[in-house]
Chains A and B, each alone.
Chain A
Amino acid sequence: MTPPRNKNFSLRARLMLGATVMVFVFLLGLYPALQQIFTRALEQAVEQRLAADASALVSAARVVDGRLHMPDKLPDEEFPVLPARQLGFIYDSQGQLVWRSRSAANHKVDYQPRYDGRGHVFTRAWDQQGQAFFVYDVEIDLLRGSSAAYSIITMQPVRDYRPMYKSLKRQLYVWLAGSLVFLVGFLWLGLVWGTRSLRYLGRELDEVENGQRKALSDEHPNELLRLTRSLNRLLNSERRQSQKYMHSLDDLAHSLKTPLAVLQGVGEVLAQQPGNTEQARTLQTQVGRMSQQIGYQLQRASLRKSGLLRHRVRLEPVVQTLLDALNKVYHDKYIKVEQLYPADLRMPVEQGALYEMLGNLLENAYRLCLGHIRISAGKTADHYELVIEDDGPGVPACQRERILQRGARLDTQNPGQGIGTAVVKDIIESYDGQLQIEDSTLGGASFRILLPLN
């Protein structure tokens, strides 16, 4: 079964995305709060200013014979200047306008004070053009020692503060965006630092899988140590199990095949005696079948895939070791071996399985070729490919089908076939790969192995 394609983001990407969204939402919530705080502060400043203006009006006012007198020129120059920025009004206790500043001459602001002799009000009002004003209304009952009931009102257009307000809003945006970038950057650095140990663990696992390292080191954060130690125990136990298994298989092979070799010898001796030929032949045939089955089953058993490790074995040293061995055995046959593959190519197969696959196919090629063998390999978009070609007689079409038939039992195959090709086919099937037999451009057979990328 092929593992499902991993469409998930990495842990770091997830944490990064989550934290970024969180920071963004936080800043988004912070923005109206900051805006409100500023507006309040601004309004308080305006109120203080208008209160100061009202005080200026109060200190300028005089009551003579029960009537209010205001000087022509007020101490605060802003009231008389046109066009007005600040407006001043004074109402008596009946709500009658008794004085207005020159700047207020053309303004009709919709505000009517209600005199109760106490306190002050800070509010907003609108004129006929719909323009908004801040309004400060203070009521007095004494003026320079004499009783006098008046409402002193100062106003300033809200419009005056709009540029300041806009500039603050812009600054707020800039600061918040800057903070966002800054925070996300820090988060990223933190995550890189935090996930460094995971990346280091991944690298160590790669090294274990490639055989450069026997176990994971102890240099991991406490949170990961339990995991790495468990993995080490698992690796160790699998390695020990596998060694024990291989030794048992070796012992089994030795204890089964040596007696078979004796029986084979006895059969040969019997066959030399007249009258025993038929029995001897039966004995030899049965010994042959048993030995083939034992050999096949033992080889199959020894090539179980490790469940824990994903193997990546370099092709070049395996090929070189096998070629050295085969050149020794086929010393008298002068064979040219062409090798067409990248020197650092790694095959996704366990080392023992790679030896068996290549050993069997290369031995066939050495045995059957006239003098030329080609080994080519590479990685395409969706699989690894390994091709062994020779200039020998090739494989007849009828045998190709028999070899390639999925799940074909060995004993239904041509007895001359040997177990080599059957083992190769078994290994390839156990890795979800494919074996194709074609004609080679060299003139002989071409065995093409396709293995999936993962």
Chain B
Amino acid sequence: MKLLVVEDEALLRHHLHTRLTEAGHVVDAVGDAEEALFRADEFNHDLAVVDLGLPGMDGMELIRQLRSKGYTFPVLILTARGNWQHKVEGLAAGADDYVVKPFQFEELEARLNALLRRSSGFVQSTIEAGVLSLDLNRKQARVNGEVLQLTAYEYRILEYLMRNHQQVIAKERLMEQLYPNDEERDANVVEVLVGRLRRKLEGGNGFRPIETVRGQGYIFNEHCR
């Protein structure tokens, strides 16, 4: 998933960037609200982690502006003050959950995953589509109960397509899921990855949920629940 992290403290931002990338996300980490608004306009994010105590425009105002611009991705607040008036104000401004500093990374990750699941309409941590089941916590795919050996990139593409099932997804969107913004991109990589993923899913049972929409992108055409 592509995450926007807004934290002014460089060390903490770096830590979040590293740990979230390790956890399989593509992280866009910025130090202030203006940059965050710019990134939100430029790229498609699935979730934002926003520190409330930002220099200049504060986190609360950033969340308000993101919402007023029509961005619906979930927002998780990081706050130093654990008081309820702050939390309530943040949630009322448009955030979906909060984590009080300092936090354990596992807690943050669990909250992020819960928000991501919820935003794609899945309550459980497993997404099922016919014979295929995707365990979002273990980041594992199974077909008929058999674990599929997927690379991290293949898994990201599959998870993204399944979260956005029955919608056409442009190649560029998938690219954003794979690489941070400033890295060199090659559109062919997505085609290669999708081709490998299809072969692994098909295996010996003829299961072909991913279809190509010519000139537009891909669609996961199996109903997910």
B101 and A331: CB pair below 8 A? no
A328 and B97: CB pair below 8 A? yes
Cβ of B35 under 8 Å from chain A: no
Q: Which chain B residues in 84-113 approach chain A with CB under 8 Å?
A: 84-85, 87-88, 91-92, 96-98, 100-105
Interface size, chain A (Cβ < 8 Å) = 39
B84 and A263: CB pair below 8 A? no
CA distance A152 to B101 in the complex (A): 122
A253 and B81: CB pair below 8 A? yes
Cβ of A295 under 8 Å from chain B: yes
B103 and A355: CB pair below 8 A? no
B81 and A298: CB pair below 8 A? yes
Which segment, of B11-19, B64-72, B190-198, faces chain A?
B11-19
Cβ of A257 under 8 Å from chain B: yes
CA distance A30 to B84 in the complex (A): 71
With both chains docked as a complex, state the minimum distance between the C-beta of A49 and any C-beta of chain B, in angstroms: 94
CA distance A29 to B56 in the complex (A): 80
A257 and B84: CB pair below 8 A? no
With both chains docked as a complex, state the minimum distance between the C-beta of B94 and any C-beta of chain A, in angstroms: 10
Cβ of B139 under 8 Å from chain A: no
Cβ of B9 under 8 Å from chain A: yes
With both chains docked as a complex, state the minimum distance between the C-beta of A311 and any C-beta of chain B, in angstroms: 14
A261 and B88: CB pair below 8 A? no
Chain B, interface size category, equals 20 to 34
Closest chain B residue to A255 by CB distance? Answer: B80
B91 and A253: CB pair below 8 A? no
Known: A265-B15, A295-B100, A328-B97. A321 touches B81 (CB 8 A): no
Partner of A352, one of B11, B53, B83, B97: B83
CA distance A187 to B81 in the complex (A): 59
A261 and B53: CB pair below 8 A? no
Residues of chain B within 8 A of A261, CB atoms compared: 9, 12, 78, 101-103
A355 and B9: CB pair below 8 A? no
Residues of chain A within 8 A of B88, CB atoms compared: 321-322, 324-325, 355, 359
Q: Identify 22 residue pairs between A and B in the complex whose beta-carbon atoms are under 8 Å apart, listed by A's number.
A: A250-B81, A260-B102, A262-B12, A263-B102, A265-B12, A265-B15, A295-B100, A302-B83, A322-B88, A324-B88, A324-B92, A325-B87, A325-B91, A325-B92, A329-B96, A331-B118, A332-B114, A351-B85, A355-B83, A359-B87, A360-B84, A419-B82
Q: Which residues of B contact A (CB under 8 A)?
A: 9, 11-12, 15-16, 19, 51, 53, 78, 80-85, 87-88, 91-92, 96-98, 100-105, 114, 118, 123
